[in-house]
Amino acid sequence: MLRFVSLLPSKTFRRSLFYCRNFCSIIKEEEGSLLSDIDLNMPSVSYVQHSFLVVHPKIRWGRNATPPKEKNDELQVEEAIALVKTIPGFSVSQSVIVGTDYTTKKKHIWGQGRIEDLLKLKVSSRVSALMINVDQITPLQQTELYSIFRVPIYDRYNIVLKIFKLFAKTKLAYYQIQLAEIPYIRNRLHYLDNNDTNCDVLQITDAVNALAKSGLDRKEALRLREHALRKRIKSSIESAKNEVAERKLRQDKKNAGNSLVIAIIGYTNVGKTTFIKRITGASQLNPEDKLFATLDTTIHPFSLPSRNNVFIADTIGFMASLPVGLFESFSATLMHATSADLLIHLIDLSHPDVLAQKKNVLKTLIDLKFPQKLIDNMICVGNKLDKISDYDKHKLIESEVLNKNDSVISSTSGYGINELILKIDKTIMNINNSRIRRFKLKPESKLISYFYENNLVTTEPVVSECGEYLIFDICLNDGQLNKLKKKMNFMIKQQ
> Is 273 annotated as ligand-binding?
yes
Residue 245 lies in a domain: no
Structure confidence at residue 258 (pLDDT): 60
> Is 292 annotated as ligand-binding?
yes
Structure confidence at residue 122 (pLDDT): 96
Q: Which stretch, 107-116, 253-262, 398-407, has highest mean pLDDT?
A: 107-116
> Is 132 annotated as ligand-binding?
no
> Is 143 annotated as ligand-binding?
no
pLDDT > 80? residue 222:
yes
> Is 270 annotated as ligand-binding?
yes
- Tell me which amino acid residue 217 is: D
pLDDT > 90? residue 210:
no
Q: H-helix or E-strand containing 91?
A: strand 90-101
Structure confidence at residue 479 (pLDDT): 77
Among 60-74, 207-221, 447-461, which stretch is predicted with the lowest mean pLDDT?
Answer: 60-74
Question: Coil, helix or strand for 265?
Answer: strand
Mean predicted confidence (pLDDT) in 136-140 = 94
Concatenated DSSP letters of 38-85: --BPPPP-----EEEEEEEEEEE--TT----TT--HHHHHHHHHHHHH
Q: Same domain, yes or no, for 403 and 473?
A: no
pLDDT > 80? residue 397:
no
Q: Same domain, yes or no, for 295 and 406?
A: yes
Q: Same domain, yes or no, for 122 and 188?
A: yes
Residue 102 lies in a domain: yes
Structure confidence at residue 243 (pLDDT): 65
> Is 271 annotated as ligand-binding?
yes
Provide the edge-to-edge strand list for the sheet that holds 407-408.
298-303, 309-314, 260-266, 342-348, 379-383, 407-408
What is the pTM (predicted TM-score) of this model?
0.72
Q: Please identify, among 239, 269, 296, the residue that sits at the C-terminal boundary of a domain.
A: 239
Q: Same domain, yes or no, for 139 and 5?
A: yes
Residue 251 lies in a domain: no
Residue 470 lies in a domain: yes
Of 203 and 16, the structure prediction assigns the larger pLDDT to: 203
Residue 12 lies in a domain: yes
Q: Same domain, yes or no, for 405 and 274?
A: yes
> Is 411 annotated as ligand-binding?
yes
Q: What is the pLDDT confidence band of residue 251, given thresholds at 50, 70 and 90?
A: low
> Is 209 annotated as ligand-binding?
no
| Burial readout 127-147 (b: 16 or more C-beta within 10 A, e: otherwise) | bbbbbbbbbbbbbebbbbbbe
- Tell me which amino acid residue 113 is: G
> Is 386 annotated as ligand-binding?
yes
DSSP letter for 267, please. B
The dihedral built from the CA positions of residue 361, 363, 368 and 374, taken in this order, carries a sign that is positive
Mean pLDDT (the chain, rounded) = 81
Question: CA of 78: how far to CAs of 71, 85, 383, in Å?
Answer: 13, 11, 21
Structure confidence at residue 171 (pLDDT): 79
Q: Same domain, yes or no, for 467 and 445?
A: yes
Q: Please identify, among 431, 461, 478, the residue that sits at the C-terminal boundary of a domain.
A: 431
Q: Could you report the per-residue pLDDT of 60-116, keeping only the tens digit for each?
A: 865 555 555 556 889 899 989 989 998 989 999 999 999 988 788 899 999 999 999
Q: Same domain, yes or no, for 427 and 453?
A: no
> Is 385 annotated as ligand-binding?
yes
Structure confidence at residue 411 (pLDDT): 94
Residue 246 lies in a domain: no
Q: What is the pLDDT confidence band of residue 212, given thresholds at 50, 70 and 90?
A: confident
**Closest listed residue to residue 178, CA positions, set 242, 130, 236, 138:** 236
The proportion of the chain whose per-residue pLDDT surpasses 90, expressed as a percent, equals: 35
Tally of domains within the chain: 3
Distance (Å, whole) CA 110 – CA 4 = 16
Among 131-135, 200-204, 289-293, 452-456, which stretch is predicted with the lowest mean pLDDT?
Answer: 289-293
**Closest listed residue to residue 141, CA positions, set 60, 206, 197:** 197
> Is 317 annotated as ligand-binding?
yes
Q: Same domain, yes or no, for 288 and 143?
A: no
Structure confidence at residue 11 (pLDDT): 46
DSSP letter for 318, please. B
> Is 383 annotated as ligand-binding?
yes
Structure confidence at residue 264 (pLDDT): 93
Q: What is the pLDDT confidence band of residue 484, given thresholds at 50, 70 and 90?
A: confident
Q: CATH number for the domain including 290? A: 3.40.50.300
Q: Could you report the per-residue pLDDT of 155-174, keeping only the tens digit for each?
A: 999 898 888 888 777 777 78
Mean predicted confidence (pLDDT) in 444-464 = 87
Q: CATH number for the domain including 114? A: 3.40.50.11060
Q: Same domain, yes or no, for 369 and 226?
A: no
Structure confidence at residue 62 (pLDDT): 59
Residue 23 lies in a domain: yes
Mean predicted confidence (pLDDT) in 385-409 = 86
Distance (Å, whole) CA 385 – CA 354 = 13
Q: Could you report the per-residue pLDDT of 363-375, keeping only the tens digit for each?
A: 989 988 899 999 9
> Is 294 annotated as ligand-binding?
yes
> What residue numbers bound the domain in which 449 lies?
435-494
The phi, psi pair for 399, rounded to 5°, reads: -90, 10
Q: Same domain, yes or no, for 399 and 446?
A: no
Of 94 and 25, the structure prediction assigns the larger pLDDT to: 94
Q: Please identify, among 403, 431, 459, the residue that sits at the C-terminal boundary of a domain.
A: 431
Q: Same domain, yes or no, for 64 and 27?
A: yes
Residue 247 lies in a domain: no
Distance (Å, whole) CA 74 – CA 112 = 24
- Tell me which amino acid residue 250 is: R
Among 126-140, 244-258, 324-338, 452-466, which stretch is predicted with the lowest mean pLDDT?
Answer: 244-258
> Is 331 annotated as ligand-binding?
no
Distance (Å, whole) CA 332 – CA 221 = 24
Question: CA of 141: how far to CAs of 29, 108, 144, 155, in Å?
Answer: 42, 6, 5, 11
> Is 202 annotated as ligand-binding?
no
Structure confidence at residue 189 (pLDDT): 92
Of 10 and 181, the structure prediction assigns the larger pLDDT to: 181
- Tell me which amino acid residue 345 is: H
Q: Same domain, yes or no, for 4 and 65?
A: yes
